[in-house]
Chain A
Amino acid sequence: MNEQNDSYEERLKALNERVIERASRVPGWMTRWDEDGAKREAQPIGARLLKAQGTLARDLLDGGDLHRIIRNLAILALLTAALYGAVIGSFSGPQQALYAALKFPLVMLGSALICLPSFYVFQCLVGARPSLLQACAAVLLMTTASGLILFGCAPIAWFFTISSEADAGRFLVALHVIVVAAALIFGMNLLSRMRRFFDWKQANMFSGRVLMLWNVLFVVVVLQMAYFLGPLMVSEDIFLRGERGLFIKAIGEFFTGSN
């Protein structure tokens, strides 16, 4: 009986040690970000988003030069979204490509703008301490990171668009949905990592509790904006359809094949 007890206690102790060790282990990306933070050389905002996220985290935390960062992020988000919009619209010719290039940045940046107040207020309400500028930079960070993925996927989507026939519309819609979803997941993951990094640095900048909820809200707003500002892919010889409706209707139409 005693032997059994000893064995149980030993196992419990080993388990405890493993749990403590796992909890105290710092993920590799955090140490890399920390090292990035010490670097001072100037890099373009896109390169910082992809290769030196730690420098952005540092600037976001310090609040240094946030106006310039916000401006650069907005410009990059605008350009990448316009490019991907042009790719979406190119399915129906150059005029629709131009229309979609104008409208898709509105979808991405408009959603960011619409969701910014809720991001800031909800973060404040759960005790986090971002300033409005920091919240704005964080939302744009997510949007621009998504834009970079869209930029990376644009040649692939373009290739499929120009090489597919008119009956492949549903395939292309699915492709764009997957690309945009992947881009948003990348952006949200970056924001989530930022939050974990700040927690590790013991800076109460963002709260993870409302971040998930806000992410859902952002996705819903992006879908509705895309529906409202449609058509993006299929040409109807109009800039805006002007039809009121919920994005759920478009999802239903996609799956039932009706139009």
Chain B
Amino acid sequence: MNQQDRKIPTMPSETIGKFLREPGATGLHIAGGESLLRFNVRLTILGLIGAMMWGAAVGSYVGGEHAIRTLVKMPVFFAITLFICFALMHIVLVVSRIVERPRQTLAISLATLCVTTASLGALSPVILLFCVSSPIPNYTAYLNLYLACALCGALAGVFGVRYLAHMLRAIAGPGVPVLWPLIWCVLIYQFVGAQVAYILRPWIGNSLNLEGFYNLEHGLKGNFYTGVFAVFRRWLMETGIIT
């Protein structure tokens, strides 16, 4: 990549707004590799705030105590997922010749998570309103909230991936393909994230009598994908498609 194109080594996120609207500048800063430690610390703090806001909003359906638990669990969820995926994502980005050092991969991951959690944080007042005003215990309301949270998550995910794509393009420079590394990173994070979220459940409610920081009955065990398959199979059996 042309070194002249990599100017603007100053911190790109003087404000949250500037950080959000300039993925290219963030990418160039990461490519420059200067003061990445401070940059990563700032991103972690920003991501933490967004994740905690979203966690508190999601958990508020059940009540204040559960909201505090999900407030703590949400940043843990993002952090554990990143911790587990980090090595593979770094390998993908190194093999694709986009980054050279782990700090850069960390900065890319944190920036993407920051955008996602900032979007979720921005939507948390809306979800909070629906959570505190939805009837409980009520399975339909629970499913409605589940759907609303999934939609918000999808929207935040789209913003995060879009930001990641812009960042990768700025870091890689012209001529380096970024589509496949992008797809791989997203798939890896999503694949692991679904399982981490599953074992850290309940999130929205404990309508199935799940109590505690995590469900004591299932412990930190369970499989998201077999769980989804079982639900799908049950649905097919109940509708009479299979016997």
A residues neighboring B (CB under 8 Å) = 113-115, 117-118, 120-122, 124-132, 217, 220-221, 224-225, 227-228, 243-246
Q: List 15 contacting pairs A-B, 8 Å CB cutoff, sorted by A.
A: A115-B126, A122-B159, A124-B17, A124-B20, A125-B119, A125-B163, A129-B17, A130-B17, A131-B17, A224-B130, A227-B133, A228-B133, A244-B133, A245-B134, A246-B144
A113–B134 alpha-carbon span in the complex (Å):
20
A221–B127 alpha-carbon span in the complex (Å):
9
Chain B 107-159 residues near chain A, CB threshold 8 A: 115, 118-119, 121-126, 129-130, 132-136, 141, 144, 159
A132–B15 alpha-carbon span in the complex (Å):
11
Chain B's interface: helix, strand, loop or mixed, by majority? Answer: helix
Inter-subunit contact A245/B21 (CB<8 Å) = no
Known contacts: A124-B20, A125-B159. The answer to whether A118 contacts B133 by CB under 8 A is no
Contacts of B162 in A (CB 8 A): 125
Inter-subunit contact B21/A124 (CB<8 Å) = yes
Contacts of A220 in B (CB 8 A): 126
Chain B interface residue number, banded? 20 to 34
Inter-subunit contact A128/B123 (CB<8 Å) = no
Inter-subunit contact A121/B20 (CB<8 Å) = yes
Q: Which of B118, B121, B129 contacts A221 (CB 8 A)?
A: B129
Q: Which of B118, B125, B134 contacts A246 (CB 8 A)?
A: B134
Inter-subunit contact A117/B133 (CB<8 Å) = no
Inter-subunit contact B130/A125 (CB<8 Å) = no
A130–B18 alpha-carbon span in the complex (Å):
10
Most A-side CB within 10 Å, residue of B122, B124, B163: B122
Contacts of A221 in B (CB 8 A): 126, 129
A128–B163 alpha-carbon span in the complex (Å):
14
**What is the CB-to-nearest-CB distance from B129 to chain A, in angstroms, rounded to a whole number?**
6
A227–B130 alpha-carbon span in the complex (Å):
11
A228–B115 alpha-carbon span in the complex (Å):
31
Those 9 A-B pairs whose CB atoms lie nearest each other, nearest first: A121-B122, A124-B20, A117-B122, A228-B133, A114-B125, A118-B122, A244-B135, A124-B21, A124-B17
Could you list 17 further interchain pairs (A-B, Cβ under 8 angstroms) beyond the known A122-B159, A227-B133? A117-B123, A117-B124, A118-B123, A118-B125, A121-B118, A121-B119, A125-B20, A125-B159, A125-B163, A126-B21, A131-B17, A224-B130, A228-B132, A244-B133, A244-B135, A244-B136, A245-B133
A183–B21 alpha-carbon span in the complex (Å):
31
Total number of A-B contacts with CB less than 8 angstroms? 73
Chain B 2-22 residues near chain A, CB threshold 8 A: 16-17, 20-21
**What is the CB-to-nearest-CB distance from B142 to chain A, in angstroms, rounded to a whole number?**
11
Inter-subunit contact A225/B119 (CB<8 Å) = no
**What is the CB-to-nearest-CB distance from B231 to chain A, in angstroms, rounded to a whole number?**
23
Inter-subunit contact A120/B17 (CB<8 Å) = yes
**What is the CB-to-nearest-CB distance from B52 to chain A, in angstroms, rounded to a whole number?**
14
**What is the CB-to-nearest-CB distance from A135 to chain B, in angstroms, rounded to a whole number?**
9
Contacts of A122 in B (CB 8 A): 119, 122, 159
Inter-subunit contact B126/A125 (CB<8 Å) = no
Inter-subunit contact B136/A228 (CB<8 Å) = no
Residue of B nearest to A114 (CB): B125
Residue of A nearest to B141 (CB): A246
Contacts of A115 in B (CB 8 A): 125-126
A225–B124 alpha-carbon span in the complex (Å):
15
Contacts of B134 in A (CB 8 A): 244-246
Contacts of A224 in B (CB 8 A): 129-130, 133
**What is the CB-to-nearest-CB distance from B126 to chain A, in angstroms, rounded to a whole number?**
6
A220–B130 alpha-carbon span in the complex (Å):
10
A225–B125 alpha-carbon span in the complex (Å):
12
**What is the CB-to-nearest-CB distance from A139 to chain B, in angstroms, rounded to a whole number?**
13
A6–B240 alpha-carbon span in the complex (Å):
65
**What is the CB-to-nearest-CB distance from B101 to chain A, in angstroms, rounded to a whole number?**
27
A120–B144 alpha-carbon span in the complex (Å):
26
Contacts of B119 in A (CB 8 A): 121-122, 125
Inter-subunit contact B21/A114 (CB<8 Å) = no
Contacts of B124 in A (CB 8 A): 117
Contacts of A126 in B (CB 8 A): 21
A122–B16 alpha-carbon span in the complex (Å):
12
Residue of A nearest to B17 (CB): A124
Contacts of B125 in A (CB 8 A): 113-115, 117-118
Inter-subunit contact B133/A120 (CB<8 Å) = no
Known contacts: A121-B20, A129-B21, A132-B17. The answer to whether A114 contacts B126 by CB under 8 A is yes
Contacts of A225 in B (CB 8 A): 129
A220–B126 alpha-carbon span in the complex (Å):
9
